[in-house]
Amino acid sequence: MRNADTHSSIWRRRDVLRTGMSLAGGGAVITLTDRASGAIATVNMQLGWIGGGNQIGEVSAFQLGYFEQEGLDFKIQPGGPNNDGIAIVASGRYEVGQVSSSPSLMLAVSQDIPIKCFAVSAQQHPYAFFSLKQNPVRSAADFRGKKVGIQATGLILLRALLAKNNIDMKDVQVVIIGSEMTPLMTGQVDVITGWVTNTTALSVIGPDRVQFRLWDAGVKLYASPYYATTETLQTKQDLLVRFLRAAAKGWAFAYENRDKAVELLVKTYPNLVAKDERAAVDIMLGATFTDATKAGGFGTMDPAVWQDQISLYSQLGQFTKRTPTVDEVMTLDILNATADTRPKIG
């Protein structure tokens, strides 16, 4: 799936090119009422990419009225390569943000940008390395001697994988490429990168591909984390609680009603292809609902996983100003406040 956020533009999303669409499905914006005060309670979710399949849970929640039940007027604000979502949320313009990967938030906090992650959509990052069966990469050790095709902005992920597995960068040959998968098919590279959810792009490789996920190599990043400013977390906790309750219910619906959820998604984003989205949704939901969510519910996250990420990125010299602490990067307050309502499936 295609994406460009402040961390990098490597996350290739299969999403629509329409940047102006809100969750009103292109029609009139629906105004909802705050249950407690009678005032309008608005929640804008700023993306780091152009909206599409990765928002199938929020789309389901919107179309089925789950946000309305929480007294919220919910809108998705699209991002893109020229739209710095983190800066927009940090400025206080919008209430909630979502980026493609957890390091984006670590790097922002390291620069003293006042934001924190309060929940995670995808428990296991879908980023992976793809090869062919005649020359497979099934483990970190298999990278030795290989030509790895990767976008320049994704080079840090290859460095992280090699460092985590004590492999020298000199043992691989890096070939900087664009977003296409054809270099693998033409033999220009032995390995190529992308999201496992990007079923349209991966169809070029065909069924004989071998995939090796970054997560399986020991680089455990979260995908699509939710974040807000520290001020919003302090002063509008109830708003974030209601947002997460509704979103979690929408993701649970998508998990249990996949065909219908795709129908709602394409209704909201008509430029998407239902067949492609149906193929991708199983993979996305597999990354979203895991043993972790079965135990802790949708959106759960582990401070130890965050610490491992911070330590690895510090080792790689990615924090140019200072290394942030776990407590600066994430908070469990919203998850704890919704512990009894977030679906525990996986």
* Closest C-alpha among 25, 91, 85 to residue 267: 25
pLDDT value, residue 15: 33
pLDDT value of residue 178: 84
Cα–Cα distance, 187 to 182 (Å, whole number): 9
Across the 346 residues of the chain, what is the mean pLDDT of every consecutive 10-residue run?
Answer: 37 31 35 46 91 92 96 92 88 95 95 98 94 94 95 89 94 90 92 86 84 93 97 97 98 98 96 91 95 98 97 94 98 98 95
pLDDT on residue 246? 98
pLDDT of residue 64: 97
pLDDT at 294: 98
The predicted structure's pLDDT at residue 201 = 80
257: left (phi over 0), alpha (psi -120 to 50) or beta: beta
pTM of the model: 0.85
